Structure formats: C-alpha cells, structure tokens
Amino acid sequence: MMNFIKQTLASIIGTLAGLFLFATAGVSSIVILLITLASVESEPTIKDKSVLVFDLSTEIQDKEPLVNVGDLLSDRDRSVLTLNQVIKNIEKASKDDRIKAIFLDGSNANSGSGYASFAEIRQALIEFKESGKKIIAYDVTVSEQEYYLTSLADTLIVNPMGVMELNGIGTEPLFLTGALDKYGIGVQVIRVGDYKAAVEPFIRTDLSEENRQQLESLLGNIWNNYLQEIGESRQIKANNLQEIADSKGILDPKEAQNFNLIDQVNYRDQAISLLKDITNNKEEESLSQVSFNNYTNIAVTGVTDNSSSNKIAVVYLEGSIVDGVGTREQIGGTRFANILRKIRDDEQIKAVVMRINSPGGSATGSDIILREIQLIQETKPVIISMGNVAASGGYWIATGGEHIFAQPNTITGSIGVFGVLLNIQEIANNNGITWDSVKTAKFADLGTATRPKTEQELAIYQSSVNQVYDLFLEKVARSRNLSKAKVANIAQGRVWSGEMAKKIGLVDSFGGLNAAIEYAAKQTELGEDWQVQEYPISRGFAELFIKRTLDEDTQLTQNTLDPLTQEFIKFQEELKVIQNFNDPRGVYSLLPFNWELR
C-alpha cells in the first residue's frame, strides 16, 4: 500500500513538473519571439506637416502606472500618460518644425484629471501658442474641466448634437451613518480640529456648519480662478460667465456660440479640414497625425534630455498614506523611507523634488517619510511640488522641504488628526454572536472591536490624538517659520486652496512640477549639467516591454457608465478607504475622503 502511494505521488509530481516545464518553455518562447520583434522594430518616425493629437479622454497621473496581469486581462480600456510626459510633449512640439498644430480631441472625453494638473497643462499650451503655432479643439460633451483646456484654442468646435456644461463646481459628500446604524455597526470618533471633517461620514447625515463653510470657501476660490482664466482666454468678463452659469447651466452648442464660449458648431471632419488648411495639406491627402503616446518616444532635433552624472531626484507620492509597505496604489511609509534612504546615500543625486498628490492617511507613515526627508535636507535641497491635493498627511510630509510650490487650485492644509473606532457588538448580538473575556489588566482588550470603548478608554485615544495634533502644529510652525499660535489658528483641520494657502504662509510659490525642478536646479548651482531621475523606479523590463508592445496609437472608446452605476462605484470606493486605516496608533491625518469636485 505504501509503495502504491509513493508511486502515485511520484506520478502526480512528475506530471505537474512536466506541465510546468511545458508552460515555462511556451511562455519563454513567446517572450523571446516578442523581444526579437521588439528589437528589430524601427524607432517611431514623424512626417513633416504633422498634427500632435491630445485625446482628452487620457487619464493624467503623476507617475506612470504599473502594468500587471489583471490590467491585461480586464476589459477596461485605459489611456494613461504622466503629467510630465504631457508637458514635455507640448514643449517639444513647440520646437519641432514638423509639428504645425495641436489638436485637442474631446470625442471620447468623459472625465477629468484634476484642476491642478490641468493648470500645468494649460500653461504649457499657452506657451505653445506663443511659439506661433495653432491649437484646434473639438468636443461633443464639453465638461468644465475639458473647457479649462479647450477654451484657449484658436478655434473650438463643438458637435451640433453636443452640450456644454457651465454650471459651477460642486461636491456631493456621501454619509454612511444611516447604514452603519441600520446594520448595528458602532462608531466612536476622536479628533482635533473643528474643520476636521474626515470623520463626518461616520457620525453625521449631513455637512456640519464648519465643513460647509470651508467647502464653500474652497470651491468659491477655485471657481473664481476658473472664471478669471476662462474669461481671459475667451475675452468674456468673469461676471458675465457667472451669469451664464446661474441662468443656463447647460447650453446647447448654438447658445454657447452666441455667448462666444465656442467658435463653431460642426462635426469632427470639419476640425480635420481646418487642420489640413493649417498644415497646407491638400484636401485629398490624409492628415498626418501623431498621438501623445507615440510622440513621447520621438526624438526632436535640438531638443534632448540632459545626460549627466548630476541627478535631480523626483519622488512621486501619489495615493493614500499607510503604515508599512502598502500596495502599488498607496504611499507605504516603510517602502518610501527605503527609497529616500537610497537617494540620500546616492552621491550623484544633488537635489530632491517631492511631488505630492495625496489626501494624507496614516500619521505614523507620514512621519516616517518626513524624517527621511529631513535627513536628506541636511545635505541636499528638498523642494516640494504639490499636485491636485496635498493635504493632511500630505502636508505633514511637505513640511520637510525648504520651498513649497503649489497651483492656485491645489487642495492643501487640513492640518488636523482623528481616529475612528468601529465595533460590531450590535450586529453580532442581533445574529446570536457574543463574546466573553479574560484579562490580566484593565485595558488588555483596549483594541477590541467587539464592544464600544468606555469613557476612560476614549480618553486614552483622545490623549494620543491630541499629542499627534500638537506635534503636527510644531512641525508646521518650525517648517514655515510661523508661531505655533498662528498655525493653530489656520489649522483646525481646515482645507485651503493653493491661493489661500500662499496668503497664510503654508505655500511659498505658485508653479507646477517643472517650476519645482528648475528651482532645485538653481539651488544646486549646476547650471545646465543635470538630469532628472524619477522614483519609485517601479517598472522592470517586463513591464516596460509589455507597455511598448501593447500601447496603441488609437485608443478604444471608453464606455460611458449610467448615473446609477457611477454612484454604486463611488460607494464601493468609499468602503475601500477603510483599507487604508492601518496606523498602529489608530491616528490619521486625512482629507475628507469623499470630496469629488464636479
């Protein structure tokens, strides 16, 4: 019997080994074949009299996304570029004699990538126009974020069946309190800061007076900046734009044209004909087009990336901050601390730019990263560049830099901390589940989720939150050269726009990532002898190969989701935030996580 079992196991193992070798050989053969094909592929080329096409459905992120098997097997079509790639492409095109115009194509656009990111792209497009070249835009459903870019086009064409949105920006926070009560999930919160609204979805069914006040101030500031910039592009007074928003909200293309918001009501082929005229293409000839994706890999005479042994490190902190390593979509305190230590020890790196696009999260994770930044700052300048949002823990990290850049519409501040204590006693008891306990000290089960916390236990947690908040105030006061009393006055968890933050001393200068990099270069006194090195270096050969092989010049149209599905997905995303609650102290510095400006 024993021999039979041994023989059977040997047979199974042999079969599995054979299958493994077969699969490995098969995959290896495919990889080798594809590598061979990739190696003989000629470099991307571009014809004279070409148009650079920017698909407005492209998702703009700070750092290049990782590629994994799940992405490849999913049915979600994504066109993703980094903000730096977009800006560099526009700058490169302004000096490329083969590029005659940029086409902003909104045929498939259905989402935005954040006003601060668009502000940097908008400035690059303005400089492109100043080079003497043209920008033509076409859109169907013109959202306000798309219009932020397309409004500066030399000619903006909208489809006759399209619509234009000009109804102001708003947010619709989601509150979970009723659902938590219904299902018997208990919530206790501890916080510091009257404006620290991240706990409100767990304890309220509507906005507090303080939260409503800060939201009205924040959105009003961003909206006023929007009206001013759009008004300058279209030569319309901001007051007139506000009147249109209050009286119309949604306009059909003819109305938009009558108000001088757009130039033409026509179809996409008419935009192509206009581009042919600009590029001096004959009507029967096809228009030579190159996408932003492909243009990234095209060399331009006289425009090259610096190659130097002197490096300026650009570290991208994008996502929620967590303690430990974290996932690829999170900012893990331990993981980024390791990255920053390597940067500090690298003698070729002369300066560091921290690009922060984060609503915050774990106070512990934030402080671990901050400490490494402070150590770098002792020997190398560290410059902060804020993206769409750098609030709470994101601002905590920013205090380590010697100079902070932000856009006027960057969301920042939110200097405050909180803790959320959940318990499942009621829902468990209602379903026949109970617990008992044995302990050697009064607070042995302090961290349990099986019952609510006592008043004495809440006092312990509140003391911890107070301590972290006081530490936050000290760090901001020391970094910004402000009195602790003044910081306490502008803190309280309140959220500010970049413009307001600069007035109260939380931000030094307006500008995007390039402005921060240029400032870092000046601080190093290296002249032109430097090169940017981006971190994390997240993509290995396999990912680079997959991206190069699978990137297409033409992106498939994204499916538009119905409103009900959009709200369901939004609800799912709200619940995902709980996965970020892993701070060992249970203390968080986090922006109200369900704000979505639209």
Annotated catalytic residues are 196, 392
Does the bond joining 173 to the residue before it have cis omega, within 30 degrees of 0?
A: no
The DSSP H or E segment spanning 503 is helix 498-503
Cβ neighbors of 577 (< 8 A, separation 6 or more) are 320, 593, 594
The residue whose two tokens read 């835009």 is: 137
Helix, strand, coil % (nearest 5) of the chain? 45, 20, 35
Nearest residue to 524 via CA among 390, 356, 402, 365: 402
Euclidean distance between CA atoms 499 and 591, whole angstroms:
18
State the number of CA atoms in the 13 A half-sphere of 291 facing the CB. Answer: 14
The residue whose two tokens read 């938009």 is: 256
Q: Are 312 and 521 in contact (CB under 8 A)?
A: yes
Taking the alpha carbons of 526, 527, 530, 533 in that order, is the dihedral positive or negative? positive
52: left (phi over 0), alpha (psi -120 to 50) or beta: beta
Measured in whole angstroms, the distance separating CA 53 from the mean position of its chain's CA atoms is 23
361: left (phi over 0), alpha (psi -120 to 50) or beta: left
Euclidean distance between CA atoms 210 and 72, whole angstroms:
45
Q: Are 268 and 130 in contact (CB under 8 A)?
A: no
The residue whose two tokens read 């006693």 is: 425
Nearest residue to 271 via CA among 419, 383, 107: 107
Token code pair at residue 119: 């502000």
